[in-house]
Amino acid sequence: FEVGHYAGTVGYNVDGWLDKNKDPINEAVATLFAKSTDAFIAHLFKDYASESHARGKGGSFQTVSNKHKEQLTRLMDTLYSTCPHFVRCIVPNEHKKAGVIESSLVLHQLRCNGVLEGIRICRKGFPNRIPFQEFRQRYQILAPTAVAGGFVDGKKASEMLLDAMQLEKASYRVGTSKVFFRAGVLGELEDMRDERLAKIISMFQAYCKGYLMRKEY
């Protein structure tokens, strides 16, 4: 049978399903592998290196699926107790050649590992966020007279700046400690800020050059 996932259609075969999941681990073979001179093989079966290794509850054989479940549980416990960061590796082509990118292959990988789905979800919401204080310090240059001097609450100051910038209400939301923006809005603000800074610096340079020339002549 086939199941239509968001990443595509995946086929499954249930022939011998129960037999596979009842497949016991041959402890004699596992113990032999644990004593292998190959360090990698020995590491894979290190749990069987001890002579006191138990067969499991009630002396029954431990199956491959039970072993996998135990390892998965330990892995999840480790992940929940830490703050892991992942690096997604994309195979550019199937020929192991540098500078060659197969678009269909890359797109398939991005779709299957959930990157495109994550981007789609983020674009529907407010993926960019910035604290009130940082927002005021960084973008007050776009509306310097919007906030009066003296102490002004961070949330109130941010709302005043947003009103002065005349941004569309649907493009942002004001939270309890941060301002949330739709995808692309923060980039537009950065462009506006860069233009404003360039204009200010040009005017400052002009004043300095004018002062130096007047002083010299």
Q: pLDDT tens-digit profile of 156-181?
A: 989 999 999 888 888 898 999 999 99
> How far does CA 9 lie from the centroid of its chain?
25
Mean pLDDT in the chain? 84
pLDDT at 24 over 50: yes
**Global confidence as pTM:** 0.46
Distance CA 60, CA 50 (A): 18
- For residue 121, pLDDT beyond 80: no
In the chain, pLDDT over 90 holds for what percent of residues?
27
**Which tens digits make up the pLDDT trace of 27-75?**
788 888 888 899 998 888 887 766 555 454 444 556 777 778 888 999 9
